[in-house]
Amino acid sequence: MFPVLFSFGIISIHTSSLIIAIGFLVSLFIFWKMARVEIVEVEKIFDLILTIILGAFVMGRLMYVLENYNDFQSKFDRIIHVYKFPGFDFWGICLGFIVASFYYMKRIKIKRLRILDFLSVSISLFMVFIFLGFFFDGVYAGLNFPSLGVNLVGYVGKRLPIQLFSAFLFLLFFLFSKNKIDKRNNGFVFWFFTAYLFANLLVLEFLRRDKIYFEGVAINKLLFFSVTMFAVIVIITKYKNIIKSNLQELMNNFKIFHHK
């Protein structure tokens, strides 16, 4: 049973739901603030956000229903009642996000990669809140680990808090990437985030053992690895200069720290 923060009649507010809702609003504000540099009309920014949300929501739900067709049995009320019959397919969300964002950006003729950079920064912050919500719900629970583990809702024994590790890693990405968006290197942050996200998910596949985790999902590991490597290849081949620049900056900072 997920922890309830407070109830009002038949409506219950869960801790994780509140955390994710706050994260969504904060991330939305961050994206709006950055996108105003590229899109003057505020209405277009919110239209883009709404299009992406609807695309990810519909495609993620549709693919989940198709994968679990026996549970829904062509009953439309079960499909639309997400609260009573929850579930979204991760790859469906990704596909919906890509199709919706590219469709809208093509329609209003703006620089896609630059907007995708903005989206990547804001989504990386949103991922921090998502994994914090997962922590309170016991989703993505890690392996049994008595020495470094914590007690999670719905589990016996201490579990490795991989949700907190992931939240911290995405926070680091957000702090690093928000100052790395450059017109001369449009798309770098987006591809870097793609590699970062799927590499993180790949590692989690080896560390998670929660109640919604199914053994034998090697296909996920293969897909996560493939997407990560593809993004890394794009970064190496297309953004050599910025990689060299960042490595040089890192070496200079290390030398200064070493001399101190």
List the chain domain ranges. 13-38+111-254
pLDDT at 49 over 50: yes
pLDDT value for 226 = 92
Question: Residue 193: which pLDDT band, with cuts at 50, 70 and 90?
Answer: very high
Check whether 253 has a pLDDT greater than 80: no
Give pLDDT, residue 154.
Answer: 63
**Is residue 65's pLDDT more than 80?**
no
Contact 40, 80 (CB under 8 A): no
- Token code pair at residue 68: 């679990």
Please write the tens of the pLDDT for every residue from 208-222: 775 555 544 567 788
- The closest of 55, 54, 44, 32 to 108, measured between CA atoms, is 44
Confidence at residue 199, expressed as pLDDT on a 0 to 100 scale: 94
Q: Look over the chain and give the mean of its residue pLDDT values, rounded to a whole number.
A: 76
CB 117 within 8 A of CB 187: yes
pLDDT category at 239 given cuts 50, 70, 90 is confident
DSSP assignments along the chain, one per residue: -PPEEEEETTEEEEHHHHHHHHHHHHHHHHHHHHHTTT---HHHHHHHHHHHHHHHHHHHHHHHHHHTHHHHTT-HHHHH-TTTS----HHHHHHHHHHHHHHHHHHHT--HHHHHHHHHHHHHHHHHHHHHHHHHHTTT-B-B-TTT-B--TT-SS-B--HHHHHHHHHHHHHHHHTT---GGGTTHHHHHHHHHHHHHHHHHHHHB--TT--TT-HHHHHHHHHHHHHHHHHHHHH-HHHHHHHHHHHHHHHHHHHH-
Q: Does residue 59 surpass a pLDDT of 80?
A: yes
pLDDT at 74: 63
How far is residue 149's CA from residue 146's CA, in Å, rounded to a whole number?
5
Residues in the chain: 260
pLDDT in tens, 87-126: 667 677 778 877 887 777 777 767 778 888 888 998 899 8
pTM over 0.85: no
- Confidence at 1, pLDDT banded by 50, 70, 90: very low
Q: Which residues pair with residue 11 across a beta bridge?
A: 8
Nearest to 118 by CA among 173, 54, 47, 177: 177
Whole-Å CA distances, 214 to 27, 69, 90, 208, 220: 31, 18, 14, 10, 11
pLDDT at 11: 46
What percentage of the chain exceeds 70 in pLDDT?
Answer: 69
Is the predicted pLDDT of residue 9 greater than 60, yes or no?
Answer: no
Q: Given this model, what pLDDT does residue 172 score?
A: 94
**pLDDT, position 66:** 78
* Model pLDDT for residues 144-179, shown as the tens digit of each residue: 766 666 676 666 677 778 888 899 999 999 998 887
CA 111 to chain centroid: 22
